[in-house]
Amino acid sequence: MSLPFTTRAQGKLLLTGEYFVLDGAVALAMPVRFGQALRVEETAQAGMLKWSSLDENGQVWFECVFDVPALEITVASDDETARTLQSILRACRQQNPDFLNASAGMEVTTETDFPRDWGLGTSSTLIAALARWAEVNPYQVLTNTMGGSGYDIACAYAAGPVLYQRRKNQPIVQSVDFQPAFSENLYFVYLGKKQNSREGIQRYRELTTALKPAIAEVDRLTERFLTATSLNDFQQVMEEHEAFISRALDLPTVKSQLFPDFPGAVKSLGAWGGDFVLAAASLSDVGIRDYFQEREYETVLAWGEMLPANASKSYLIP
């Protein structure tokens, strides 16, 4: 692909199907307005790929230099991050041998517009953006590097919410009309710590045995998320989903643990124990924000504050 090259991948949230999406359950996922941009420019320094990663404040948090085309690390501000990046670049080249296979100098800059500890997809947006630059299959890059279900990859360039399923290790992505009439009662609350998804997946693998009935139940709950016509119905299915995953993982629900007196429903999103939760209640905007901020949960985003700016009721997968 000719230079300069720019792209931007969206972050994600998993509304239903956490953990069981790994084994074929239908999950409801949505892209968010926050994401990561990638810019590539050619430089005069032949044989060198200089990498800079910027945070939401425009500050450099990671730098690295690779020899090209060998893709060997010559200097890095963080060795573990550099090795992860190296593995993603090499996975892209595995599919496209021409990718970064010349000695032309390049400078790559990535920039997120959200705090990295929010758990909205720092890795998935990077993989999706790099795969678009390399013109390769991002799901295969994910499989060869970080692993996971791939729902976050599906969200990276989606125009709106999607139903996501892995069938025979292949991603099935379906656009879906999901803009609840009661969306003004839905809020996303950051719990203040980034959850390690791998730890949650390991626990899921250790505890879950009867997959087929469980997957059928998750599919049913996802369908009910989509078809709920009132806030009360939606809160009920949120609570049923939480109770089901709680039994499967032998873990307390987030509401029972942190918000037992909340006058509504609270649901974990993605890996349990961290990142964002979805809160639903027939409270005013001020009432919702006051409840969580009085308990020192400062990051509270309304539904419309989390959705992509171009989201509408008519969604198409690009």
Looking at the predicted structure, is the pLDDT value of residue 303 above 80? yes
Q: What is the dihedral angle through the alpha carbons of 274, 169, 34, 105, rounded to the nearest 10 degrees? A: 120
Whether residues 167 and 193 fall in one domain: no
**206 lies in the same domain as 247:** yes
pLDDT of residue 203: 59
Domain at 10, CATH number: 3.30.230.10
**16-35: average pLDDT:** 94
CA atoms within 13 A on the CB side of 223: 7
Q: Where are the alpha helices (DSSP H) in 145-259?
A: 151-156, 197-207, 211-227, 231-249, 254-258
If asked whether residues 113 and 21 sit together in one domain, one would say yes
Distance between CA atoms of residues 10 and 295, nearest Å = 30
20 and 142 fall within a common domain: yes
Same domain, 167 and 215: no
pLDDT of residue 270: 80
In 3-state terms, what secondary structure has residue 83?
A: helix
If asked whether residues 151 and 280 sit together in one domain, one would say no
pLDDT band at 312 (very low <50, low <70, confident <90, very high): very low
Per-residue model confidence as pLDDT tens digits over 49-101: 999 999 999 999 999 999 999 999 999 999 999 999 999 999 999 999 999 99
Q: How many structural domains are present in the chain?
A: 2
pLDDT of res. 316: 32
CATH number, domain of 226, equals: 3.30.70.890
pLDDT digits (tens, 9 = 90+) for 196-255: 556 656 656 666 655 678 899 999 999 999 999 999 999 999 999 999 999 888 889 999
More confident residue, 313 or 41: 41
**152 & 200 share domain:** no
Owning domain of residue 32: 5-175
What is the band of 39 on the pLDDT scale with cuts at 50, 70, 90? very high
Same domain, 208 and 259: yes
pTM, full prediction = 0.91
Domain identity same for 156 and 206: no
